[in-house]
Amino acid sequence: MWYIKFEIDPLEKYLVCGNQKGEIHIWEINNGSLPSVKSNHVLHPKDVGCAIRQIAFSPCGQHMIAVADDASISRFARRT
């Protein structure tokens, strides 16, 4: 495994990171404590079975993009 990058959303509420299984884990970090080992939420991008290498948020924090080893790109929109 070369690298997997994590990202913190622009509002500094969530820490997000992909993994080798193609999952995206989300930790809530706005409560002032360190994240636990177990994430608060897990996303499973459709048809991705390889490592999620990088996550990026839009400047407003409403959209998140994930890039996988197979060059697929997944887009997620935050529910309000």
Give residue-wise pLDDT tens across range 46-77: 888 899 999 999 999 999 999 999 999 999 99
48 assigned to some structural domain: yes
CA dist., res. 54 & res. 69, Å (int) = 9
C-alpha–C-alpha distance, residues 12 and 20, integer Å: 25
Please indicate, yes or no, if residue 47 is contained in any of the structural domains: yes
Are the C-beta atoms of residues 20 and 68 closer than 8 Å to each other? no
Q: Is residue 39 part of a domain?
A: yes
Task: Dump pLDDT digits (tens) for 5-28.
Answer: 999 999 999 999 999 999 999 998
* Residue 72 maps to a domain: yes
Q: Report the side by side order of strands in the sheet with 52-57.
A: 52-57, 63-68, 73-77
- Is residue 42 in a domain? yes
What pLDDT is stored for residue 10 in this prediction? 94
Residue 1 in any domain: the answer is no
Residue 80 has pLDDT above 70, yes or no: no
Q: What is the pTM of this model?
A: 0.85
Q: Residue 57 corresponds to which tokens in the numbers above?
A: 């948020």
Does residue 38 sit within a domain? yes
How many distinct structural domains can be found in the chain?
Answer: 1
Single-letter amino acid code for the residue at 67:
V
